Structure 1
Amino acid sequence: MFDFSTVQDKETAAKVFEEAKEFLSLCHFGLQGITRTEDDVRKVVGKLKETKMAPLAFDTEMQFVPMVRELFSDYCCKVRLHCAVSYPMGRLLPASKMHALDRLRAIGVDDVCVCLDWQAVFSGRYKDIENEARQIVEEFQDDFYRVALVIPATLMSDTQIIETCRALDAAGTVSVKVNPGATLGVSFEEVALIRRNFPNRFDIHPSGNIRTLSDVLRYREMGCNNIHTAAALEITDDFIVKKLKEYGGI
C-alpha cells in the first residue's frame, strides 16, 4: 500500500487518504475459490488491514466466515462479509440455493450473490429464471445489504442478456452482477447494453478482469458503484498516486 509518510504536505496526504477510502469503499475485494486455504485468506486479510481502509465488502467462502470475522474483530474499519452461492455456474437446485442463503443469513453474512443456472440461460428457460429469482428476492432481499443475481454475460448473446434481464426485472431483482469472474471478464459493452435496455432499473455489478484504474473509473462513469476486482488494492494505490499528482503532493 502507498506510504503516506512520504508525502511532505500532511494536509494533502490526509485529503487523498480520505478520497482513497471512499474509492475503495465502492469495490469488492477478497479471496474466493474452493482451492483457497486458511493461510491464503489470512494473507489477503493482512494486506487489507495494512491499508486502514475498507472495501464495499470482503469476498470469502462460507467456511472461512468465522475466521475472517475474527481476523477483522480488532480492525479500525467495519468490513462487510460477502459470499457467493452456487458459484460459478448456478447448478445447485433452487432448494439448495435457498438453504445456502438461509445458512448465510443465520451466520450473519452481510452481502451475497447467487449464480443463475447457466443451463436455464442457454436453453432459453427464462420463466424458470424468473421464478427462481422471485423466490430469492421475496425471501432474502431485505435480509442482506445486497442480493445480486449473477449472469455469465460474456458467454451470452445480446438477446440472451436482454431476455434474462427481462426475467429478472419481472421478478423484482435489484442487483445484477455481470459475470462471475472465474476467467469470465465483464466488458463495457455488456454493461452499456443493460443500461440502454433497462435504464435506471438495475444496480449493475461489473466483475472479472477489471485490472486498471481506468477500467474502474469508466465503470463508475457508467453508473456502477459496486465493482468486483481482485486488484482493488493495487488500483487504489494508482488512484492515490493520480490524486497526489493532481494536488501537487508528488
Structure 2
Amino acid sequence: MTSEEFAKYIDHTILKPQATVDDVFSVCDEAIKYSFATVCVNSYFVPFVKKKLKGTSVGAATVVGFPLGASSTAAKCFEAASSILSGANEIDMVINMGLLKMGNIDEAYLDIAAVVEAAHSAKQEVNLKNVIVKVIIETCYLTDGEKKKAAEMVKKAGADFVKTSTGFGPGGAKVEDVALIRKVVGNRFGIKASGGIKTYKQVLSMIEAGATRIGTSSGTKLMEEFLNEGKGI
C-alpha cells in the first residue's frame, strides 16, 4: 500500500465540544498536507471547512443526530439537508439505538431512509454529483444479532456506509465487528471503522477485516507512523 492509498482511507476528525475555528482550520491544513479523504466536523463548522478545503481533493463531512442518535427524524433530516446546502458532501448520521433495542425495526429503518432521502434531495439543490451517507450503529451497545439487523437496515435504506462508532461511547471500533458487518453487507458496500484507532497497525487490521474508511482524530500521527514504519506494506 502506498502512502497516497493509505491517506485516502482517513476521515480526519475533530468533534470535541471545545473545538474552535482555529482548531478546525489546523485539522484542515493537516488533511490538505496528506490528502486525506475528508475532514469530519460538527455541522456548525461546515461552511468554514468548505471554504478552507476549496480547490483540494479533501471532502467535507459532518455528523447528524450526534452522538446519541435520539433526535427526531425531522431534526436529523433538517440537519443533514442544511449541512449539504452549507457545503458538506458526506453525512455521518447516528441510528436511533432505542428503536433497535425495542425491536422496532421498521421505525428505525424509516429514520435512516428519511435522512438518506433528505441528503439526496439537498444535493440536487446544490448540483452535487454525489453525497455519501454513512450510518453509525454504535456497536458497543449492540449484540451481534442487533449489529446484523442494523447493518441490514443501513443497506436497505440506501445509505453508502455502515460506521461502527461515534467515538463517544464506552467502546470503539473492533476488528471482529468490521468483519461481521462485512459478511452482512457484502463486498461492495462501505464500512467505516471509527473510535479508538490510534496506530497505523490498527488501521491495517481494520482494512484487512473489510473497512473502506477510517474515522480518527489521529490522522497525522497515523500517517507519520505509516511513513516511518510502514513503507513497503
Q: TM-score, normalised by structure 2?
A: 0.86
How far 1:176 sits from its partner (Å)?
0.8
Q: 1:29-64 CA distances to partner (integer Å, 9 max, x unpaired)?
A: 031133212232233334445xx2221110112222
Q: Does 1:64 align with 2:45?
A: yes
Whether contact under 8 Å (2:13, 2:215) holds in the other structure is: no
Q: Name the structure 2 match of 1:45.
A: 28
Aligned partner letter, 1:132: D
* Distance change >3 Å, CA 134–CA 69, structure 1 → 2: closer
For residue 64 of structure 2, the aligned residue among 60, 80, 85 is: 85
Distance 1:22 1:92, change over 3 A: same
Q: Which runs of 5+ in 2 are unaligned?
A: 124-129
Corresponding residue to 1:122 among 90, 101, 118: 101
Structure 1 residues 242 and 145, CA gap change in structure 2 (3 angstroms): farther
Q: Alignment partner for residue 142 of structure 2, among 143, 149, 156?
A: 156
What is the CA–CA distance in structure 1 between the aligned matches of 2:79 and 2:205, rounded to whole Å?
A: 34
Secondary structure of the residue aligned to 2:195 is coil
Matched, 1:207 2:194: yes
Which amino acid in the other structure matches residue 179 of structure 1? S
Larger-gyration structure (1/2): 1
- How far the C-alpha of 1:70 sits from its partner, in A, is 3.3
Tell me how far 1:185 sits from its aligned partner. Answer: 0.7
- CA deviation vs aligned residue, 1:195-242 (integer Å, no higher than 9, x gap): 223332631111000111111111112232211111111111111113
Q: Aligned residue pairs: how many?
A: 225
- Give, in whole Å, the separation in 1 of the partners of 2:225 and 2:180: 29
| Cα distance in structure 1, aligned partners of 2:50 and 2:112 | 29
Q: Describe the SS at the equivalent of 1:81.
A: strand
Letter in 1 for 2:224: D
Matched, 1:169 2:155: yes
Q: Deviations over 1:127-183 (max 9, x none)?
A: 111112222233424834310111011111111111222333332333111111114
Q: Which residue of 241, 245, 249 maps to 2:228?
A: 241
Q: CA 1:138–1:23 in 2, change beyond 3 Å: closer, same or farther?
A: same
Residue aligning to 1:94 = 73
**One-letter code of the match for 1:239?**
F
Cα gap change, 1:239 to 1:98, in 2 (>3 Å) = same
Rounded to whole Å, the distance in 2 between the matches of 1:197 and 1:79 is 29
Question: Would you say the 8 A contact 2:31–2:38 is kept in 1?
Answer: no
1:21 aligns with 2:8: no
Gaps of 5+ in 1: 1-15
Q: Is the 8 A contact 1:31 1:44 kept in 2?
A: yes
Contact residue 141 and residue 147 of structure 1 kept, 8 A: no
Cα distance change on mapping 1:202 and 1:129 into 2, 3 Å? farther
Cα 1:239–1:99 shift into 2, 3 Å: same
CA distance in 2, matches of 1:182, 1:167: 22
Equivalent AA in structure 2 for residue 40 of structure 1? D
Q: Counterpart of 2:66 in 1: which secondary structure?
A: coil
* Shift, 1:191, TM fit: 1.1
Q: Given residue 223 of structure 1, which amino acid in structure 2 is its aligned partner?
A: G
